[in-house]
Structure 1
């Protein structure tokens, strides 16, 4: 179990840009009634101890932004904790971290100006736009890597630049495992300025995927991060132009709700590294295996090799015996 003292000590040594306060949060299921009553008190106690532990008497307070957790419970159930953040810890808190988007309602008036980090699962750009509409500023975005490992090149922009009739929504990505790209010399996405699109074409990336070359996923990750960066740049421009809500509605009508389904194996899923359960087949069998006759030859060669403890005279005798035969 990680103690707050160990956590504070790690902050002092590592000096990260952002540190998340320790919150009494359950994952995978909802807390019971008795647990809810204690969550606020525990989190407040940990926050106070963390603030004290982060103070460095010799160098001053670390240059680390402390983000206070907003618990995934009803606003009334954590009102005492929120009041304490506003009254006692507001000078030390640089931001807020939310585990549930619904917890936005629990944020007090004097804390609403602080940046908000969401740890909720963002499975698509649509989810990102919904969170931005609620006032979320910083995100963790696992779908970028998930799309990359699935061999999908992201293909969306905000605001939507297409002019569709909305009868058929556009896909959010391109499945590069498809053999339709085997002879396509165009970039992953037209007009894309990322390294992958300016130096390589679809046929090359598709070939790398089929050859199971790690470079395939590296190139896709570069492209997917670039698309996401451009997406957020468009969001910032849209907010400045006061057109975010309209642009968001157009984006919803333009693109499919979810990313394309995965059709190929990613680089990190190698079935032979996992034990089979109840006779199930490996997730990803070995691509190459040793031939039976090769196994026999290898076994014969190993049997003929001298032992590690053999000296020069033993080697001479063995070589002499082989020559006599």
Structure 2
């Protein structure tokens, strides 16, 4: 399939450069005034504009430009500087001193700003935040966006969990489309707007929502409603139902797919941007990513105790006693700042004395490792080997899970 024509708004340009020979996976180029990112790409989750454990001076330790796309929720700023102050400063870029980064404003995240579907109504979406529960109406939301001046922003959506009734699910689609029309009529002139697509666990509602949003004048699409109790086995059907209804030349973003297998599933369906808290939650719990990258980075998993603790072979728990005297790096061959300068034993010590430096070092490694995973995916698509890459990764994971389950069972028997 030939490269698509370039889609351009005042603040954003997007073009598909390479399509997978068989399937929907693609490599694109997303350009903002501040930065240029190759897709498929990961949006780094932030709290009030910065990754939770990384200060601005540590951002330089992450791969560039892959790490220059930051997701934030406007709801995070409900406590702190008021909107007028943020606007007078010049928006989030000036507020945070990160002029060379791209900022993507998304109403929902999975850390601080959770949608509360039973408190939402036709006037606005309800969110649970550290400041309490808030009902956010489209006009109020647009005022936030206008003050914060992100490079890209997502329209307000009524996201619902998989457990809601068909009637409530239909209402969520109707509200989301109505709010999108409100956002379009009120939106700032220079902003790139992604239209939200919901529909819960109904293929028909997801198709209906996607078809309606595709009729609107938006720069791209945000596919929501995942990670809220839905089944991973059904996601491929939902994703394909949505992407089938969308124009191929515009970018697609998804929220709620974070595991490596889920990312590969999304890319196979034609997704370009991933908004996920996967790295944050790993780091918070003291886990480090160790899964092989193209066979170049390997971690010793021959010890049965280690197999039991890192049962899925993607991560290890650095709080575990087994690492107290381990002088090796997290991943041999990893070029991140953490692996180049520190050992598992040191990070184990920091974790067990509750020193925040542990999370800083883990966040740097985990982000570096996962961004490298995305880079390898892009290379596989460009070389026409994405499906081979995907199947090999999944088969290796299944094999590792099987071996780990046997090893854990043997270990449990020996301890009796």
1:26: how far off? Answer: 1.7
Retained in 1: the 8 A contact 2:220–2:252?
A: no
Alpha-carbon distance change, 110 to 229 in structure 1, aligned in 2, over 3 angstroms: closer
Alpha-carbon distance change, 80 to 125 in structure 1, aligned in 2, over 3 angstroms: closer
Match of 1:130 in 2: 265
1:95: how far off? Answer: 2.6
Q: Deviations over 1:229-278 (max 9, x none)?
A: 111111110111111111111112223469x9xxxxxxxxxxxxxxxxxx
Q: Which has the higher contact order (CA 8 A, sep 6+)?
A: 2
* TM-score when normalising by structure 1: 0.67
Alpha-carbon distance change, 138 to 257 in structure 1, aligned in 2, over 3 angstroms: farther
* TM-score when normalising by structure 2: 0.53
Retained in 1: the 8 A contact 2:297–2:333?
A: no
Alpha-carbon distance change, 106 to 28 in structure 1, aligned in 2, over 3 angstroms: closer
Matched, 1:207 2:357: no
Q: Among 217, 224, 245, which residue is 1:98 paired with?
A: 224
Q: Distance in 2 between matches of 1:178 and 1:136?
A: 36
Q: Among 177, 184, 188, which residue is 1:51 paired with?
A: 184
Unaligned residue ranges in structure 2 (runs of 5+): 1-134, 227-234, 299-306, 405-416
Matched, 1:22 2:156: yes
Q: Deviations over 1:84-117 (max 9, x none)?
A: 4333x1x333233232441430345452332222
Retained in 2: the 8 A contact 1:160–1:247?
A: no
Q: Among 145, 148, 152, which residue is 2:283 paired with?
A: 148
Alpha-carbon distance change, 170 to 27 in structure 1, aligned in 2, over 3 angstroms: closer
Retained in 1: the 8 A contact 2:161–2:225?
A: no
More strand per residue: 1 or 2?
2
How many residues are paired up? 248
Match of 2:248 in 1: 112
Retained in 2: the 8 A contact 1:118–1:136?
A: yes
Unaligned residue ranges in structure 1 (runs of 5+): 56-60, 261-325
The two structures, once aligned, show a CA RMSD in angstroms of 3.0
Structure having the higher Rg: 1
Retained in 2: the 8 A contact 1:19–1:64?
A: yes
Matched, 1:10 2:144: yes
Match of 1:174 in 2: 316
